[in-house]
Amino acid sequence: MGVARVLLIVIAAVLTLLGTFVFALFPSFPPLVGSGLGFAMNITTIITMDPGADAVVFYLLLVLFIAWLASGVLQLVGLKSKIVGIIFSLIPLAIGVMFVLLMYTTILGPMSAFFFLMTSGEVYAFGIPMLIEIGGMGLGVYFLLAGGVLGVIGSILPKD
């Protein structure tokens, strides 16, 4: 059981890192795409924004998105600590679910525009983040969902 656990956690971390930084989450205004890399490049602008009336939601999302940037690496800590592995596997899973809801429903309401703006960024050298669209969403969303699920399963499994 120990080898399967390690393998699941490592695959989950790689999928999360690919979904965050290498593959785009959704197409934006050309030549922009939504990705974790776009969020990382816009983070100083986002932090200095005036949140307006929804300050609590804004700061909660900001903390969630910042944790998302580190979640791929911190999933590997799940090899030693189950709770850290579970928490940092649930974050990309939650981000993936949010983007699925953003694309296919209006349940998020005005927050959908905020998600769109927070992650939009340009495509850099060698076409990173790459936009491969499947069902209206980028491949990055599917990688985040798979990385989150595999990370949770791997972190729950017993060490030996």
Tens digit of each residue's pLDDT (9 = 90 or more) over 41-63: 888 888 888 877 778 888 888 89
Q: Kindly state whether residue 65 falls inside one of the protein's structural domains.
A: yes
pTM of the model: 0.91
> CB-based contacts of 94: which residues, under 8 Å, 6+ apart?
64, 148
Residue 118 lies in domain: 2-28+42-156
Q: Kindly state whether residue 59 falls inside one of the protein's structural domains.
A: yes
Q: Kindly state whether residue 36 falls inside one of the protein's structural domains.
A: no
- Which residues in the chain come in under a pLDDT of 70? 1
Quote the pLDDT of residue 1: 62
Q: Kindly state whether residue 101 falls inside one of the protein's structural domains.
A: yes
22-46 pLDDT per residue, tens: 999 888 777 788 898 888 888 888 8
Quote the pLDDT of residue 107: 84
Q: Kindly state whether residue 34 falls inside one of the protein's structural domains.
A: no
Q: Are 19 and 26 in contact (CB under 8 A)?
A: no
Angstrom distance (rounded) from CA 150 to CA 127: 27
Domain count, the chain: 1
> CB-based contacts of 121: which residues, under 8 Å, 6+ apart?
32, 33, 34, 35, 37, 38, 39, 41, 42, 129
